[in-house]
Structure 1
Amino acid sequence: MRWTRVALPSLTDQAERLVRLGVHDLAGIPAARLREVAARGPADGLLVTSAPASALAPLLRRAEGHEEKDGFVVEDMTDVDLFAPTVDVPDAPYAALGLDRGDAFLDRTPKESVPELLGAGRSPMTLAEGLHWVLQDPGVLQRNACFMTPGSRLRRADGSYDARTPALWISNGTGRDGRERRDAVKLGWCWWGNRHTWLGIASCGERLPV
């Protein structure tokens, strides 16, 4: 299977964008420290912090040329910050490399796709990685071409996983989203065992401490 190579701004440029947005404060890391780690990171990675998903979502925007609207978390995901990685990740900040939106997995369930990703030596993308990706490259989200982040799930008290899978897509402004949110970036969820023709299964190739 072929994976899409993604061109991102340099880590130093990414750090500057995060500082402008105040993400360093959300993550509890001084701006100078974030710039320092970015300067020694890989040339083609995604800089990922520990900022909570609920705080990052409102910072998301559509790509240039679209109306400026705040991103948002769906109303029935008030526990979004409890969705934690199910895969090993370095202490943040770290770099995620080899990002792929997962278009090859359109109309496939996370349940089916994650074992295949792992078998190919890749790792399902976490919600934090997906949010930081859209922050740095808003154009990665397109109508009918968005993605799930199955590397983050909510573990129940009994040790089992909640069936919701975090996903990022573009709101149609229907239902509880409200018309005013049409075309805004939406942090929502889909069932672990459901198929969606417009949601890929995002992944990365590796993660490196910086």
Structure 2
Amino acid sequence: MCTTPTHPPLPALTVQADRLIELGVRAPGLEPAALLARATTLQDVAPPGSLLAVHPRVVAPSVLAGHMTRALTVRGQRVERSGFVVADMDDVDDFTPTLDAPVPDADLYAVVDPTRGEEMTNWSPEEALPVITGAGRTPLTLSEGIQWVLHAPEALKRNRCFMTIGSRLRRPDGTFDARTPALWISNGTGRDGSDRRGAPKVGWCWWRNRHTWLGFASAAARNR
């Protein structure tokens, strides 16, 4: 399994913390001073290129999604599109980490070596998961995927987007919903609306379906 990054590297964890502070990401225990101090500590144990992740219990994916941005040129002018969650995924915050994506019991942690997994485009989630775990890696959660794009918008590219199968929706009977969350770029059609064309988008795909433009994001480890 190839894990060579094909995207610009992430900034230092303290720079990512500054970005969260600048965006106004707030929660109990995540005051600016505490956030920056925690990022500084994590920077000593996580390798360069790691992602600073806020636990989804602290800040929900639905909240983080709106902080994603993507710049593009429209009619000769540079514009910035904000991220959003598709209209038919109002239960997005109920997609929680699975056993294959063990998230540390910490408000902030580091995700080591996130990659898009584009070598698995045109695979189904069902096919990709055992390959990811068999390589000693862990699938990214939806929250982690959103935060990756938040800090590195270039992680999303046309025809090179990704699923985050480390998050699933568990039904009352213990089985999983067949939907799997993913991040891609809106074409501005349908319910997305033309004013969202080019925006980073949180949506879903089916567990057994394949898509030629979606890889499977994964990481080498999570540090706390």
Please confirm whether the aligned pair reaches a TM-score higher than 0.5, indicating the same fold: yes
Give me the whole-angstrom Cα distance separating, in 2, the residues matched to 1:88 and 1:146: 23
**Paired-residue identity, %:** 53
Q: C-alpha deviations, 1:139-160, integer Å up to 9, x for none?
A: 1111111000000000000000
Query: Equivalent residue for 1:48?
Result: 53
C-alpha deviation, 1:64, in angstroms: 6.8
Against the structure 1 CA distance between its residues 120 and 131, is the aligned structure 2 distance closer, same or farther, given a 3 Å change threshold? same
Separation of aligned partners in 2, 1:48 and 1:110:
23
Structure 1 runs not aligned, ≥5 long: none
RMSD: 1.4
Q: Which runs of 4+ in 1 moved over 6 A?
A: none
Matches within 5 A, 1:22-171: 22-23=24-25, 25-26=26-27, 29-41=30-42, 42-44=46-48, 45-50=50-55, 51-63=59-71, 67-86=79-98, 87-90=101-104, 91-171=106-186
**Larger deviation, residues 41-50 vs 173-182:** 41-50
Could you tell me how far apart the structure 2 residues matched to 1:127 and 1:149 are? 5
Q: Which ranges in structure 2 are unaligned for 5 or more consecutive residues?
A: none
Deviation at 1:2, TM superposition (A): 2.0
Q: 1:4, CA displacement in angstroms?
A: 1.8
- The one-letter code of the counterpart of 2:64 is L
Give SS of 2:66's match: helix
Q: How many residues align?
A: 208
Mapped partners of 1:77, 1:121: distance in 2: 31
